[in-house]
Amino acid sequence: MAYRYATERTDHSALASGQVLRSAPGFPGFPVRLASELLQRALAHTTDQGETPVRLWDPCCGSGYLATVLGLLHRDRLSHVRVSDVDGEAVALAARNLELLTAEGLAAREEELRRSARDFGRVEYVERAEAARELAAVLASQGGDLPHETFTADVFALTDPVDADVVVTDIPYGEMTTWGGRAPDADHVGAMLRSLGGVLPRHAVVVITAKTRRVCLPEGVRALERVKVGTRSGALVRARDVAS
């Protein structure tokens, strides 16, 4: 895939999982440049091509890494971030990461890292603390605290409407992560898309990625775009095209 928006190879080491953002075993990260590219491609398909800040949702959030990274990278293009997962432990970790979308959360994380540097005498904690301070400055320059929320929900059994304009999610692929909840025996993507289509506004754009050669969409559903980078593939679809 040729990058259309995230064309510069920017140093995103501060956003690596386990640096400033919190991580835990069994919760994978996501390529930062690819995440930025996918969000910007989705924004190009919104009604005003991303001129107005949008509401972002990750319904398979895991640690909340993907949504938090997008919030820190594109604060000026987002008005709200929400994440959900069927795993309550994941949602708890995601809530801690999404607090990094606020000045208070980043200041607390900086102090935590400086305390670790003092306690363990390791220079890498000082570097991470400085990175947290730098992220706080960037967040402030792009609009300040980003409103956010977390909740526990089974992506296959959604019932309540969700006010989101863009969904970006990296689905489980059987290595570090697996499906839970009311997952069907087959066609996980189709079942998830039908569930999302039932609760999202019709104009919403859904971005799904997975470690697979090709994201298989339900019969009759045409992708707005498809992408392939390394071992990951992705598809962008319109919510109204997957609504039951």
Residue-wise pLDDT tens digits, 1-29: 899 999 999 999 999 999 999 999 889 88
How many angstroms separate the CA atoms of 106 and 78, rounded? 18
Residue 151 confidence (pLDDT) above 90? yes
Strand ranges, E, within the chain: 54-58, 78-85, 148-152, 166-170, 205-210, 225-229, 232-238
Residue 174 confidence (pLDDT) above 70? no
- pLDDT of 25-83, one tens digit each? 889 889 999 999 999 999 999 988 778 999 999 999 999 999 999 999 999 999 999 99
Judged by DSSP in three states, 13 sits in helix
The answer to whether 168 touches 42, Cβ cutoff 8 Å, is yes
How many angstroms separate the CA atoms of 159 and 228, rounded? 32
Mean pLDDT for 105-131 is 96
Distances (CA, A) of 36 to 16, 33, 70, 84, 121: 14, 5, 7, 20, 34
The answer to whether 65 touches 17, Cβ cutoff 8 Å, is yes
Residue 176 confidence (pLDDT) above 70? no
Distances (CA, A) of 97 to 57, 115, 148, 153, 220: 15, 18, 11, 18, 37
244 pLDDT band, cuts 50/70/90, is confident
Q: What is the CA radius of gyration of the chain?
A: 18
